Structure 1
Amino acid sequence: MKFAVFGAGGIGGYLGARLADAGHEVHLIARGDHLSALKVDGLRLESGLGDTTVDCPATDDPADVGVCDYVLVCVKAQDTREAATQLDPLLGADTAVVSLQNGVDNEQWLAEAIGESHVVGGVSYIFSTIGSPGVIEHTGGPARFVYGELDGARTDRIQALDTALGECEGVDAVLADDITVELWRKFAFICAHSGMTAATRLPLGDIRETDASWTMYRRIVEEVCAVARAEGVDLPEATTEEWMRFAQDLDSDAYSSLHYDLTHEKPLELEALNAAVVDHAEAVDVEVPMNEAVTAVLAPWAERFDDG
């Protein structure tokens, strides 16, 4: 099958390499020094689940790629709307555009630009990044990818995607019964973990050892769960406890991509994370003071580093 990876960074690069190794036609869409390195030296993946180097076509122009079976959208959430305007050359009648991004609004943003029938929801559980131009470093996490049609249908295209990903080495592929539940479930964790490590500029261990901060971490998870349920999302009752146990077991030096972007003066995904919780909460009349606090602390930095 033919795949385009729109945003061949930590997540997109990882999946692109695994799919190429499995024999699929993979096109990488990237930019800057990373793109230059991909064109010259190919894509190098360094992972505890197996290293590999693949030579895939790479470009910054989707028109060079043409119609694909699947487009994996792996750009930062703040770039989703712009990316959506560039997808047309990749789309055929049944092309699936799979969002594998942070947040719960990317699918809607994509649907507004290309039509809901193309959009597939996705969630990734992996810690990977561009270690250097052309090199993806998988530093941790289960390399678990969850995906599904927005209406829960078991279409031919989602079954085929499930088969393709399931056959890739180093990929834990899961076809969700309800992808909306999975999106909000991860959202509850990522808002707490990203929000707190960025707002404090400290690793998770320091947050856990400070009672007030650890309580705030929990309350962020609880607030996101409350908003989800108010919107009609059937989140399991145990979601908060599951994430708190998970966070308790993470390495004490764990940070987040939001912390990385903040400390490296890069654009922040705040609009798609804690600020999005605030927006959703207003629509369903749920109070989210902890998410409001994180948003207030980080908003000046988000404005300072905004590249738009």
Structure 2
Amino acid sequence: MRYIIVGTGAVGGAIGGRLAEAGQEVVLVARGAQYAALRDDGLRLTTPEGTRTHRLPVADGPGAVDLGPDDVLVLAVKTQDAIAALDAWSARPVRGGGTAGERLPLICAQNGVESERTALRRFRHVYGCCVYLPATFVEPGRVSAPCAPLTGILHLGRYPSGTDDTVRAVAADWEKANLAAPVVPDVMRWKYAKLLSNLANAIEATTGVLDSPGAFALFDRAREEGNAVLTAAGIEATGREEQEAVRGDRIRFDPFDGSERGGGSSWQSLSRGTGTIEADHLNGEIVLLGRLHGIATPVNDVLRRTANLFARERRAAGSMTVAELTALVDAEA
């Protein structure tokens, strides 16, 4: 199989680089400065083992890729960018007839729970991927993945449920690439659990803090709303004990240069000044479910709106204090 990484940022770059190191055929897809850096200088992936430069085929969109019947599309763009990517790639013809949407498997390696449902409108064969892969991309062409001994743990399964030979073959390839890839019949249980943990992203992005008592308290309030709306909606998420049993000592933060762990995906979006952020599909998912089921979600609504304001106005990541953010939440509540 050949892996087409649609969105070579932190997660896409780490997956693509690790697959290339394991001997898999990989095509990297990116835009703008990232595309130019990958094309001209290659993907520089730094892990605890050191920095390697991978000079791989690079494309700036589906028109530059000749798709074959054995290709696998890995969607690793931010969820707010998914519709445009799905529309473009689903219509792309595949050698031998048909389109990518009709013939090729698509793996949604993203935060949130919206992309799989969106993808299923356009792709016949959709797979969920619960991404636990701490990585950083703040400079074009460079991706840092500091965890060891595994780079990441990526639960895989068919959407909406089930498993098949395709996902088992993908998992086998990924397991050879320093990536744990458990195949599960209920991948969305894992993704909803990850959604709850990602409710902290907006706090970290706007305040730059996650490990203070005030930040913990705010996150607890956001997560309480999340648990309440999932219960009201009849949605099950994996529990912390089940998650820890899988992770065990197989993945830990292992800084290779003495540095502290970098910010998460939302913090990175603000740091790069992209103008967008994924809050509508993280905290906003809780707000949506709350409105559908009559549950008040003022904490997540404030976090969503504040993160969007930061992105829209290109405010600096971490330029608000936890106390200021908490005051906004308290006023709303």
Scaled to the shorter chain, the TM-score interval is 0.7 to 0.9
How many angstroms does 1:174 deviate by?
1.7
Look up the SS of the partner of 2:211 in the other structure: helix
> Residue 32 of structure 1 aligns to which amino acid in structure 2?
G
Distance of 1:281 and 1:110 partners within structure 2: 24
Please tell me whether residue 12 in structure 1 is matched to residue 21 in structure 2. Answer: no
Partner in structure 1 of residue 33 of structure 2: 33
Question: In the alignment, which of 199, 208, 224 is matched to residue 202 of structure 1?
Answer: 208
Identity of aligned residues (%): 25
Distance of 2:76 and 2:243 partners within structure 1: 29
Distance of 1:111 and 1:241 partners within structure 2: 27
How many angstroms does 1:303 deviate by?
3.8
Partner in structure 1 of residue 194 of structure 2: 186
Structure 2 vs 1, CA of residues 41 and 190 (structure 1 numbering), >3 Å: closer, same or farther? Answer: same
Question: In the alignment, which of 64, 69, 72 is matched to residue 70 of structure 1?
Answer: 72
Structure 2 vs 1, CA of residues 180 and 300 (structure 1 numbering), >3 Å: closer, same or farther? Answer: same
Answer yes or no: is the 8 Å Cα contact 2:134–2:147 preserved in 1: yes
Distance of 1:43 and 1:30 partners within structure 2: 11
Look up the SS of the partner of 2:56 in the other structure: coil
Larger displacement relative to structure 2 (220-229 or 157-166): 220-229
Larger displacement relative to structure 2 (88-97 or 62-71): 88-97
Please tell me whether residue 293 in structure 1 is matched to residue 302 in structure 2. Answer: yes
Structure 2 vs 1, CA of residues 31 and 140 (structure 1 numbering), >3 Å: closer, same or farther? Answer: same
Look up the SS of the partner of 2:133 in the other structure: strand
Look up the SS of the partner of 1:18 in the other structure: helix
Distance of 2:168 and 2:237 partners within structure 1: 24
Partner in structure 1 of residue 85 of structure 2: 83
Distance of 1:264 and 1:8 partners within structure 2: 14
How many matched pairs? 292
How many angstroms does 1:203 deviate by?
1.6
Larger displacement relative to structure 2 (61-70 or 14-23): 61-70
RMSD across aligned positions (CA): 2.8
Structure 2 vs 1, CA of residues 298 and 52 (structure 1 numbering), >3 Å: closer, same or farther? Answer: closer
Look up the SS of the partner of 1:151 in the other structure: coil
Partner in structure 1 of residue 172 of structure 2: 163
Larger displacement relative to structure 2 (49-58 or 282-291): 49-58
Structure 2 vs 1, CA of residues 240 and 120 (structure 1 numbering), >3 Å: closer, same or farther? Answer: closer
Instruction: Report Cα offsets for 1:221-273 as digits up to 9, x if no partner.
Output: 2221222232222224657997xxx9xx9999764332333355332112111
Partner in structure 2 of residue 225 of structure 1: 227
Partner in structure 1 of residue 144 of structure 2: 137
Instruction: Report Cα offsets for 1:36-92 as digits up to 9, x if no partner.
Output: 222223222111155433221101121222225210111111111111111132617
Partner in structure 1 of residue 126 of structure 2: 119
Distance of 1:48 and 1:214 partners within structure 2: 29
Structure 2 vs 1, CA of residues 161 and 128 (structure 1 numbering), >3 Å: closer, same or farther? Answer: same
Distance of 1:241 and 1:179 partners within structure 2: 12
Distance of 2:34 and 2:40 partners within structure 1: 10
Answer yes or no: is the 8 Å Cα contact 1:188–1:222 preserved in 2: no
Look up the SS of the partner of 2:152 in the other structure: strand
So what's the TM-score if we normalise by structure 1? Answer: 0.84
Instruction: Report Cα offsets for 1:170-208 as digits up to 9, x if no partner.
Output: 2122212311101100000011x2122234x132223x3
So what's the TM-score if we normalise by structure 2? Answer: 0.78
Answer yes or no: is the 8 Å Cα contact 2:155–2:181 preserved in 1: yes
How many angstroms does 1:302 deviate by?
4.0
How many angstroms does 1:149 deviate by?
0.3
Gaps of at least 5 residues in structure 2 are 95-99, 254-258, 316-333
Instruction: Report Cα offsets for 1:260-296 as digits up to 9, x if no partner.
Output: 3335533211211112211122112222221122124
Please tell me whether residue 257 in structure 1 is matched to residue 262 in structure 2. Answer: no
Look up the SS of the partner of 2:181 in the other structure: strand
How many angstroms does 1:5 deviate by?
0.4
Question: In the alignment, which of 283, 287, 294 is matched to residue 278 of structure 1?
Answer: 287
Question: In the alignment, which of 151, 159, 168 is matched to residue 150 of structure 1?
Answer: 159
Answer yes or no: is the 8 Å Cα contact 1:34–1:133 preserved in 2: yes
Structure 2 vs 1, CA of residues 32 and 302 (structure 1 numbering), >3 Å: closer, same or farther? Answer: closer
Answer yes or no: is the 8 Å Cα contact 1:204–1:253 preserved in 2: no
Answer yes or no: is the 8 Å Cα contact 1:268–1:305 preserved in 2: no
